[in-house]
Amino acid sequence: MQAPQLFMILLGCRPEGRHTEQHDIFFGIGTSLKELIPEMNAFWPEAKGKIHIDALRIVKKVGTHQVTVVNKSEELKTDLNSLFFLNLGGYKKDEFDELHYKILVVSDQKALAIKEAKKTSFYKHMGYKGATSHIDDKFGVDVDDVFEIKDILTEDTKSKYALKFTPAGEMPEDEIFLGYLPLSKI
């Protein structure tokens, strides 16, 4: 049997009454993508099962850390690190859109995770006077707009699994899969 992995998935759908496709990020732990389908549907009930995947990442490496899923009983109470998800928003002059950049950071503090996000080229360059880049949903940076992954997993998942952080060494970067994939085709 395959070991459980942390999945970061960009879900998309066009809910009834909307003019454009909507997106959200889903995090789940499982041994396969198919196993997570019920959780994805429960995560976005307004989509009425018409969800597709636009991007997928199996999270194994973040920065200098290897991220491993372990059984809850193996959770290290001495590991102060957490995995944070930040959704950066920014603007390009004369482009009618808000652009986004999603980032994962391993840190022992939210404030340090935000500091890392501010170092990205997206944060430094995706904005201009009057429309600065920000961590959604506010202009400027606000700690409340950072999500700790262990807090946004389902209760069932949190009762079974924990994340372990170790030095990544020469481990390759995570592969990102892009493209339209309806859940019904998985």
75 pLDDT band, cuts 50/70/90, is confident
Average pLDDT over residues 98-120: 89
- 141-145 long-range CB contacts below 8 Å, 24 or more apart? 141/114, 141/117, 143/110, 143/111, 143/114, 145/86, 145/87
Residue indicated by tokens 């990544």:
168
* Per-residue model confidence (pLDDT) at position 140: 41
Are 50 and 21 in contact, with CB atoms under 8 Å apart?
no
| Spatial distance between the Cα atoms of 161 and 106, rounded to a whole number of angstroms | 17
Average pLDDT value for residue range 152-165: 95
Indicate whether this model's pTM tops 0.85: yes
Residue 22 pLDDT exceeds 50? yes
Section 101-119 average pLDDT: 91
CB-based burial label for 138 (10 Å; 0-12, 13-18, 19+):
exposed
Question: DSSP label at 173?
Answer: P
Q: Which of 34, 47, 44, 48 is nearest to 5 (CA)?
A: 34
If we measure between CA atoms, which residue out of 133, 165, 177 comes closest to residue 65? Answer: 165
How many angstroms separate the CA atoms of 5 and 11, rounded?
Answer: 18
pLDDT in tens, 25-64: 999 999 999 999 999 999 999 988 899 999 999 999 999 9
Residue 16 pLDDT grade (very low, low, confident, very high; cuts 50, 70, 90): confident
Q: For residues 15 and 9, is the Cβ–Cβ distance under 8 A?
A: no
Shortest CA distance to 72 belongs to which of 147, 167, 164, 3? 164
pLDDT at 127: 74
- pLDDT for position 135: 64
